[in-house]
């Protein structure tokens, strides 16, 4: 793969979603997980996608998308909240490693979103740095409320969209890559029960792709 051409953003998304379909069907291929791949990627990495997702232990990116060593550049935080370290990691992946795809991966029954809703509705307080996570999720939940959204899936989708918009708004490097057609940013929502990842929002893909 190190000598293979870099996939387009659309092709990278197709690779990712094809792997997820194999995972859903229970027919994973476990690509790029052998000794040869380990040796191939030791000198350098060329991941085809950045996966910025929630830290939830049930969202192991290489498993749910059936990928292997050197395929994904993974960044994870509780509730996929984005600070300077996250932005710097993503900018490194797209500007230095030439990743053509950035994915924000959220999921149902997200603890960070649930804690934020409880804090806003019932005044349930938290301590330590968990409060910082809740503060960063709060704008998404408030936006969902303002739009009249009450179902959990809709609120999760709003949080995913908000995170995608935040990345593009705060990172000029990423926005320029998307504007130049070199990178796309996609929001996916993962369902824990069936393992499926559905597209919530896209930026930088041709009209009609993965809608």
Lowest-pLDDT range of 23-27, 86-90, 111-115, 174-178: 111-115
Mean pLDDT, to the nearest integer, of 87-103? 98
Element (H, E) at 134: helix 130-146
pLDDT at residue 5 in the model: 85
Question: Average pLDDT for residues 58-82, to the nearest whole number?
Answer: 97
Q: Does the structure show a pLDDT above 80 at 6? A: yes
Model confidence pLDDT, tens digit, residues 107-149: 999 999 999 999 998 887 788 999 999 999 999 999 999 999 9
Whether 173 shows a pLDDT value over 70: the answer reads: yes
Spell out the residues 6+ positions from residue 168 whose beta carbon is closer than 8 angstroms to its own: 174, 175, 178, 185, 203
Residues 82-92: what's their mean pLDDT?
97
pLDDT score of 1: 44
Return the ∠ at Cα 14 (arms to 202 and 187), rounded to 5°: 25
More confident residue, 126 or 162: 162
Q: Is the predicted pLDDT of residue 30 greater than 60, yes or no?
A: yes
Of the chain, the percentage scoring pLDDT greater than 90 comes to 89
The pLDDT of residue 208 is above 80: no
Give pLDDT, residue 210.
Answer: 61
Closest CA to 90 of 145, 168, 27: 168
Residue 9 has pLDDT above 50, yes or no: yes
Q: 2: pLDDT confidence band, cut at 50, 70 and 90?
A: low
pLDDT band at residue 3, thresholds of 50, 70 and 90? low
Mean pLDDT over the full length of the chain: 94
Decide: residue 193, CB within 10 A, 0-12 exposed, 13-18 middle, 19+ buried.
Answer: exposed
Cα-based distances in Å from 135 to 88, 125, 192: 21, 11, 25
Q: Is 28 exposed, middle or buried (0-12, 13-18, 19+ CB in 10 A)?
A: middle
């Amino acid at each position: 793969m190190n000598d293979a051409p870099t996939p387009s953003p659309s092709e990278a998304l197709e690779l990712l979603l094809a792997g997820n379909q194999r995972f859903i069907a229970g027919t994973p291929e476990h690509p790029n997980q052998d000794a040869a791949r380990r040796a191939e990627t030791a000198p350098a990495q060329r991941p085809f996608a950045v996966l910025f997702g929630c830290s939830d232990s049930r969202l192991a990116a290489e498993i749910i998308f059936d990928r292997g060593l050197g395929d994904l550049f993974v960044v994870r935080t509780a509730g996929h909240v984005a600070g300077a370290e996250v932005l710097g990691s993503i900018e490194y992946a797209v500007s230095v490693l030439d990743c053509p795809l950035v994915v924000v991966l959220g999921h149902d029954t997200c603890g960070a979103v649930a804690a934020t809703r409880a804090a806003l509705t019932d005044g349930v307080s938290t301590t330590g740095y968990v409060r910082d996570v809740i503060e960063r999720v709060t704008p998404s939940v408030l936006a969902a409320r303002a739009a009249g959204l009450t179902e959990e899936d809709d609120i999760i989708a709003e949080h995913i969209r908000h995170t995608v918009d935040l990345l593009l708004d705060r990172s000029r490097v990423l926005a320029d890559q998307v504007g130049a057609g070199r990178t796309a940013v996609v929001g996916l929502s993962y369902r824990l029960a069936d393992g499926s990842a559905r597209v919530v929002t896209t930026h930088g893909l041709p009209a009609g792709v993965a809608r």
